[in-house]
Chain A
Amino acid sequence: MSSHCRIERLLGVLLLFAVAGCERERREYHAAPAGDNPRPALTEFQPGGSDTAVSAIGAHFEANAYHINQGGRWYRSFNCNGCHGNGGGAIGPALMDEQWRYGGNIDQIHASIIDGRPNGMPAWRQRLTDEQAWQLAAYVRALAGNVSMAAAPSRREAINATPPLNQLPPQPPRGGDPPTVPTP
């Protein structure tokens, strides 16, 4: 077999992989989840419940880049960062660590958003559509780095106030200290 033929096969396989990646980008505008939402039961010993199986709806939402991005949009729009910061937590608990009072899988996070939780988390039932709550839950999962690398967006939607710090033009103070970095 010639190397030429092998390269063609390799390209074919690569193309198949690329096509499989399209699902990640699918923009589902009619994503009203069908059927009943999972309601993970709370137990006394472990408020989040102990089962970690994820519903089909949840798995679907956290595998899609569009839903995660929309979730990020709602996160800022509905002022989640008022309490949770940009994931680091402030008045409310941090969302980008590994500790979860009421469970950290997407079903449990969705239930926390919809039902609210003691000590401050409001119930968003009727204030958000179910679709928005799922998108938010998917984003919160992404904040802790728990979604597939293929679905997580590689850049932020928000505007950066400045260029990256290592790309800023040097502005040495006039008449003050000499610049610490010698100008090239």
Chain B
Amino acid sequence: MSAVPKPLRCLALLAAVCTLLVLSGCRGVQSVLDPAADQAQAIDHVWWVMVSVCSVLYLAVLVALAWALLRARRRREALAEGTRHDPAWRQALVAWSILVVGLLTWFVVIAFLADQKLHAGHPDLEVRITAKQWWWQVEYLSDDPQQQFVTANELWLPRDRTARIELRSGDVIHSFWVPALTGKEDLIPGYTNALLVTPRRAGAYRGQCGEFCGLQHAHMALDVHVVDDAQFAAWQQRQRLPAPVPSTALAQHGQSVFMGSACLSCHAVRGTVAGSRLGPDLTHLASRRSLAAGALPMQREALDQWLRDPQHYKPGNLMPAVPLSERDRAALADYLMGLQ
């Protein structure tokens, strides 16, 4: 071991640590390499085939190169160009070329088959996602208008069911990307895209806008929950209900603050007079996991800070700071936290 110089040993250690850190990123709620849906599985398959084949070929080329260099050092005379007319070498080169072309063709075929898989299937439910700067509007569509509802920044999907997700944009180009479930698909203004998702494993996943869409592009996350049929039905049932009526005196005051200020110019709370579609629907705000498209956790303290100055956490977003007294803001936070 002492034969290896110290700087080299340090470098090897550093490389090992870095590799481990990078590999640790392959698990988790936002990973392409941890597929939880048929579509992500198909993409994952193509990825693994390409990475393993290309790695083997790359190593083979490097070994051949090292071998050639070492040989050339021993045999100076071989540097003279075009000296070799060995038929065995020519055959080897032809075989190598055939191998490379064959592998590339194989890649094309498996990529084509994976693409077919991404678009195959019959949807069991339809969801329309409209991306806006910088949040996601999520509408559950149905032929029966009473079954439709709108929510924001949160997508719930039943396990083992195929959902067709219709993608639109409200302003600029965004990209819908839930790495654990499927590949990216752009949301383009004036144009409707769609993709299919068939989740196979329950859990919470994270989606992220995949196309730079402005200053707060990084703060444009989507919480995805995959649950079983019964849980999904219960969630849908709850989301369809109008907003709960505030029970405490403070929350009731908060509701009157909401209805008497600039809040209702942009937000909807179903079951009240607030019905604007400009900002996220707040009917069941407190039932969500996060605030402001994943920028803040859903806690009363964070909500209070957000109401005090939304431009502090997401500079440039369209929510202005509404000037309110401390008491009014506390009441408003109470009211909003009651919107379960």
Interface residues of A (CB under 8 A from B): 27, 29-30, 32, 73, 77-78, 126-132, 159, 161
Known interface pairs A77-B278, A78-B265; A131-B190 also in contact (CB < 8 Å): no
Q: Which of A29, A129, A159 is the one whose CB lies under 8 Å from B322? A: A129
CA distance A126 to B259 in the complex (A): 10
- Interface segment out of the listed B118-126, B195-203, B309-317: B309-317
Q: Which residue of A lies closest to B265 (CB)?
A: A127
Contact B320 A129 (CB under 8 A): yes
Known interface pairs A32-B321, A129-B322, A131-B320; A161-B262 also in contact (CB < 8 Å): no
Q: Which residue of B lies closest to A78 (CB)?
A: B265
Listed by A's residue number, 11 A-B pairs whose Cβ atoms lie within 8 Å are A27-B315, A27-B316, A29-B311, A77-B266, A126-B262, A127-B265, A128-B265, A129-B262, A129-B321, A130-B323, A132-B262
**Residues of B contacting A161 in the complex (Cβ-Cβ under 8 angstroms):** 190
A79 → B minimal CB distance (Å):
10
**Known contacts A127-B264, A129-B320, then 5 further A-B pairs from the complex at CB < 8 Å, ordered by chain A residue:** A30-B311, A32-B321, A128-B262, A129-B322, A159-B189
CA distance A108 to B67 in the complex (A): 83
CA distance A29 to B309 in the complex (A): 10
**Residues of A contacting B323 in the complex (Cβ-Cβ under 8 angstroms):** 32, 129-130
Task: Say what secondary structure dominates the interface of chain B.
Answer: loop
Number of interface residues of B (CB under 8 A): 18
**A-B interface, 3 closest residue pairs, ranked by CB to CB distance from nearest:** A29-B311, A129-B320, A29-B315
Q: Which residue of A lies closest to B260 (CB)?
A: A126
CA distance A78 to B318 in the complex (A): 13
Contact A127 B321 (CB under 8 A): no
**Residues of B contacting A132 in the complex (Cβ-Cβ under 8 angstroms):** 262, 320
Contact A126 B261 (CB under 8 A): yes
Interface centre among B190, B264, B265, B311 (most CB of A within 10 A): B265
Q: Which residue of B lies closest to A161 (CB)?
A: B190
CA distance A27 to B114 in the complex (A): 45
A55 → B minimal CB distance (Å):
19
**Residues of B contacting A159 in the complex (Cβ-Cβ under 8 angstroms):** 189-190
Q: Which residue of A lies closest to B316 (CB)?
A: A29
Q: Which residue of B lies closest to A159 (CB)?
A: B189
**Residues of A contacting B322 in the complex (Cβ-Cβ under 8 angstroms):** 129
CA distance A29 to B266 in the complex (A): 18
B137 → A minimal CB distance (Å):
14
CA distance A179 to B318 in the complex (A): 48
Q: Which residue of A lies closest to B133 (CB)?
A: A73
Contact A30 B321 (CB under 8 A): yes
